[in-house]
């Protein structure tokens, strides 16, 4: 069942930016905000991501360190 959410005390400047983005997307402000709220709700929290990573490490016995990961990312960025 659908419900209504009200957000109070939204600064005019924030409303204007959101309305502009909605217009650029060819949506009403309500459609745009619903799509953004849905996208936000579907995204896992950082805590959920960390917990998934811990479970994978436990399941696979991986011993790759964060330093190893950072080094790979840096070398990949340097090649681009």
The answer to whether residue 64 scores a pLDDT higher than 90 is: no
Q: Position of tokens 């994978």?
A: 56
Total domains in the chain come to 2
* Residues 66, 51: Cα–Cα separation, whole Å: 15
Which two tokens mark 26? 């060819």
The answer to which of 1-10, 31-40, 56-65, 69-78 has the lowest mean pLDDT is: 56-65
Predicted TM-score (pTM) of the model is 0.66
For 9-46, write each residue's pLDDT tens digit.
999 999 999 999 999 999 999 999 999 999 999 999 99
Average pLDDT, the chain: 94
Which residues constitute the domain of residue 56? Answer: 46-79
pLDDT band at 70 (very low <50, low <70, confident <90, very high): very high
Mark whether 16 and 37 lie in a shared domain. Answer: yes
Q: Are residues 50 and 30 in the same domain?
A: no
Rg (CA), the chain: 20
Distances in Å between the Cα of 60 and the Cα atoms of 6, 19, 30, 63 are 45, 47, 44, 9
53 lies in the same domain as 34: no
């Amino acid at each position: 069942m659908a419900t209504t959410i009200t957000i109070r005390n939204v600064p005019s400047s924030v409303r204007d930016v959101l309305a502009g983005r909605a217009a650029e997307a060819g949506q009403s402000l309500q459609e745009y905000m619903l799509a953004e709220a849905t996208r936000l709700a579907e995204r896992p929290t950082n805590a959920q991501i960390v917990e998934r990573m811990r479970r994978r490490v436990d399941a696979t016995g991986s011993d790759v360190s964060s330093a190893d990961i950072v080094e790979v990312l840096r070398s990949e960025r340097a090649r681009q």
